[in-house]
Amino acid sequence: MELKDIHIKGIPTEDFKDNEYLENYIKELEANGVNVILSKVDELINWGRSNSVWPLIYATSCCGIEFMSAAAAHHDIARFGMEVTRNSPRQADLMIVAGTIVHKMAPLIKRVYDQMAEPKYVLAMGACAISGGPFVNSYHVIKGVDEIIPVDVYVPGCPPRPESLFYGLMQLQRKIKVEQFLGHKQR
Q: Contact, 172 vs 121, CB < 8 A?
A: yes
Q: Length of the chain in residues, anyone?
A: 187
Which residue, 34 or 68, is less far from other proteins as judged by CB? Answer: 68
Rounded least distance, CB 82 to other proteins, Å? 16
Return d(Cα 19, Cα 159) in angstroms, integer. Answer: 25
Residue 124's contacts (CB-CB under 8 Å, 6 or more residues apart) are 97, 130, 144, 145, 146, 151, 153, 154, 155
Per CB under 8 A, 99 contacts other proteins: yes
Q: Contact, 153 vs 168, CB < 8 A?
A: yes
Q: Footprint of other proteins on residues 12-31 (CB under 8 A)?
A: none
Which residue, 24 or 138, is less far from other proteins as judged by CB? Answer: 138
Which residue, 41 or 136, is less far from other proteins as judged by CB? Answer: 136
Return d(Cα 24, Cα 111) in angstroms, integer. Answer: 31
Per CB under 8 A, 58 contacts other proteins: yes
| Binding window for other proteins (CB under 8 A); candidates: 2-10, 19-27, 157-165, 173-181 | 157-165
Which residue, 22 or 95, is less far from other proteins as judged by CB? Answer: 95
Distance of CA 66 to the CA centre of its chain: 16
Rounded least distance, CB 125 to other proteins, Å? 13
Interacting residues toward other proteins by CB under 8 A: 57-62, 64-66, 68-69, 72-74, 85, 87, 99-100, 102-112, 134-135, 137-142, 147-148, 158-159, 161
